[in-house]
Amino acid sequence: MIKKTIIINGAPRMVIVNPETSLADVLRKQLNLTGTKVGCGNGQCGACSVIMDGKVIRSCVTKMKRVPDGASVTTIEGLGTPDNLHALQLAWAVHGGAQCGFCSPGFIVSAKGLLDSNINPTREEVRDWFQKHRNACRCTGYKPLVDAVMDAARVLRGEITKEELAYKLPEDNKIWGGNYPRPSAIAKVTGTCDYGADLGLKLPPGTLHLKLVQANVSHANIISIDTSEAEKMPGVYKVVTHKDVKGKNRITGLITFPSNKGDGWDRPILCDEKVYQFGDAIAIVCADTEEQAQAAVEKVKVELEVLPAYMSAKAAMAEDAIEIHPGTPNVYFEQKIVKGEDTKPIMEKAEYVVEGQDLYVGRQPHLPIEPDVGFAYFDEEGRLTIHSKSIGLALHGAMIAPGIGIEPEKLRMVQNPAGGTFGYKFSPTIEALLGVAAMATGKPVYLNFNYYQQITYTGKRSPFFMDIKLGADKDGKLLAMETEWTVDHGPYSEFGDLLTLRGAQFIGAGYNIPNIRGIGRTVCTNHAWGSAFRGYGSPQSFFASETMMDVLAEKMGIDPLELRYRNVYRPGDTTPTGCAPEVYSLPELIDAIRPRYQEALEKAKQESTPEKKRGVGVSIGVYGCGLDGPDGAEAWAELTPEGVTISTCWHDHGQGADMGVLGTAHEALRPMGIKPEEIKLVLNDTALAPDGGPAGGSRSQVLVGNAIKAGCDLLLNAMRKPDGSYRTYDEMVAENIPLKYVGKWSAPCTDCDENGQGNPFPTYMYGVFLAEVEVDINTGKTQVVKMTLAADVGKVGNKLLVDGQIYGGLAQGIGLALTEDFEDLKKHTTMVGCGLPFIKDIPDALDIIYVETPRELGPHGASGVGELPLTSPHAAIINAIYNACGVRITHLPALPEKVLAGLKALKNQ
């Protein structure tokens, strides 16, 4: 141990530390300065940034032996407080820079380091600084962060005041449609928002720390598990195996498709008979400290019989492949699409036919900056209470309760502030492990993944292998489409059938295609299990149809945007599922983006050089809002002496659920003259709030929003006097009028049938993407120089939130197109290894054109937004690469070596 004095935020602090301990751990665990976050843990994300002796450093990789005695360290707590914000913190809030907010303290501290040395930076200098200091964000697309730094610099230069920068409530008291900062923004920018790992440091004495014994192979039979040596290790309370699980030891996938050949009970909580994928949990060590638990993990002996590992759908479908789940075929679900007439004779007579084979969108990793984390305990009413990053509390309760062996009414699920999920938490990850450990020990338990576990254990986007054929008449009007798609869903079936249905719903979506025939199949493999990822099935689907629309346009010799214009939905047209769209805004969206497109084409011609070719590409994207069929939600509105309390589970993975609830409720309650600060939110605790349904499929604003509006409408009706004015709380009590109202809303929709036909979603989102790229002919590297999205998401409820969702989705689309992958279990196990885009990988030129078409079934005319920006930006980028250099990439990501190989093939033709 060594003794050091460190000047922390201006105050000397003496610490006794292990010289190998990181500065981040000392700040967080010994000094309780939890505003400094730890994400990747290896210096790649910058969430842990602090300023030491005037320099921005990453504290997670700074050992205490390298911290000079007397060093001056500034953390986020030293910049400002909730009631006295630093200009950077204020700018972050008003520009929507804190979405999930987990990376915000690191960015803000890093930005202070920049402004301390350069108070008048250019936007490019800000971007260079964040690139140099490895500050990574997965939510915002970076543009709002640069906006925030530029405005904070103006304040520090004295050009504007903080009061002038701060948000001001309009005179009409209307926040819907404006830029009202999310309620959680101040806590996030000051580091006072407690995420799971922060709360873990505040758990009571006696809390057990959990570490997992995990499989280091992808497929094996388990011969034996010996925990005897581990149980003797210092500090170990218990080593939990499948024998300690009181329930079925399975997480149910809630299979609802009758044709699914599995039963949904295929995912073990703790492996008992087999290992199905790399990283599967085999045992849980419960100990007094994390270090003791990890030491004991190494002493658990697991004997395995290694089996052939089927790491792709094609391998698992081979004739000699064994069943991964004995008794269930590896191809366990099929989904047909049958619309209109038989396509074969139509294709034979079509003037133009194009065909694409083996198109592939791969295993995109979610890469939230915060790793998975949670804890569990028994509450004051004896309920097993599980805190996690879950974005579907009631759903996850139903999925894990039988497996861990508890009655649903004795299970309480709570969402902690989540540092991003982007869909992976639509599936339960650590919830059942926490529940099992708490039940087996009777003590509070805490589990925090390191980033290697985050990447290797949690689910990924399921790859699609796709074949597609389009037929069109002499004018380019689409006549028929034939499709075949194969979904590699990993070893666990949960939601695999629903994902496969998405291929039927979205391949060719946006266009009137009267005749469609196709089939999709779900395949069990031993690679990473498939979980929901933003866009859920649409990025795969649109990659097929949107690349082939460009191929068709080239064959016809017409402009690709014009071909799309001729075919997009108009009155009388139907979707691939055979229903009428709720609005017909795609022609207007194309008209809105056309001048930008023509300008981009001209600019690409002017700026292309023999070494660096410029190109332009377009695509359209469509996504439905809901979970198919009669999806529903519930919310409560209650009048109190202080105002109105809104209770629901509108889960937040960074998109701004708190602002969604507040904005939707305030607009509904505005006739009574209520102020935003008079609306209290009770969210995401199954003991305190009703089920709004999971936050997926861009459903929350529509489904939960309508439930909130319904509850508020009922409350207003009860408060309204005959003269049109409104009763006060005291008047309601005096007249014995109920104060609490239950709002419920169900989508008036139908499930798709075995042929993929139905009316699955109440509203949709529509977009037209424009990508401008530069391809380095010598290296094959592609740089996106500008992205534009013309978007119709209905009425925009909060522009800060919607802008941020679109910027972030576009950035993830760039990653999907060019760099992101989780295929190689040795290579793709860090943020950098997985291809996470940093700020210089994303253009500062991210533009949005809004076309606001009110939705009849959307609250206050709104539709959803979250999925839209990741439906097909990657297809526009791939089309732009072809436009630039003539190389058509069919397997994502478009790594430089793939582009170079394509260029070499062109030379050899």
Query: At 112, is the secondary structure helix, strand, or coil?
Result: helix
In 453-597, at which residue ranges do the beta strands (DSSP E only) sit?
Answer: 464-472, 478-488, 515-523
The burial of 412, by beta-carbon neighbours within 10 Å (0-12 exposed, 13-18 middle, 19 or more buried), is given as buried
HEC string for 834-850 = CCCCCHHHCCCCEEEEE
Q: Which residues pair with 680 in a beta bridge?
A: 645
- How far is Cα 809 from Cα 767, in angstroms, rounded to an integer? 12
Q: Report which of 863, 726, 871 is spatially closest to residue 812, judged by C-alpha positions.
A: 871
The answer to whether the CB of 728 falls within 8 A of the CB of 897 is no
The partner residues of 376 in beta bridges, in order of sequence, read 386, 445
User: CA 58 → CA 42, 109, 249, 448, 548, distances in Å?
Assistant: 9, 11, 41, 20, 45
CB-CB contact of 74 with 183 (8 Å) = no
Catalytic residue among 351, 856, 867, 897: 867
* Phi, psi (deg, nearest 5) at residue 801: -70, -45
Paired tokens of 470: 């389009």
- Beta-carbon count within 10 A of 751 CB: 13
Distance CA 313, CA 319 (A): 12
Amino acid of residue 104 = S
On whether the CB atoms of residues 820 and 893 are closer than 8 A, the answer is yes
First and final CA of the chain: distance in angstroms?
68
The DSSP bridge pattern shows strands 267-268 and 373-378 to be unpaired
Q: How far apart are CA 402 and CA 251, in angstroms?
A: 8
Beta strand pairing call for 464-472 and 220-226: unpaired
Which residue has 């058509």 as its token pair? 888
Which among 655, 240, 138, 227 is positioned nearest to 447, based on CA atoms?
Answer: 240
Closest listed residue to residue 812, CA positions, set 793, 784, 792: 784
Instruction: Say how far apart CA 433 and CA 447 lie, in whole Å.
Output: 9
Asked about 867 being catalytic, the answer comes back as yes
User: In 3-state terms, what secondary structure has residue 554?
Assistant: helix
Residues tagged active-site: 867
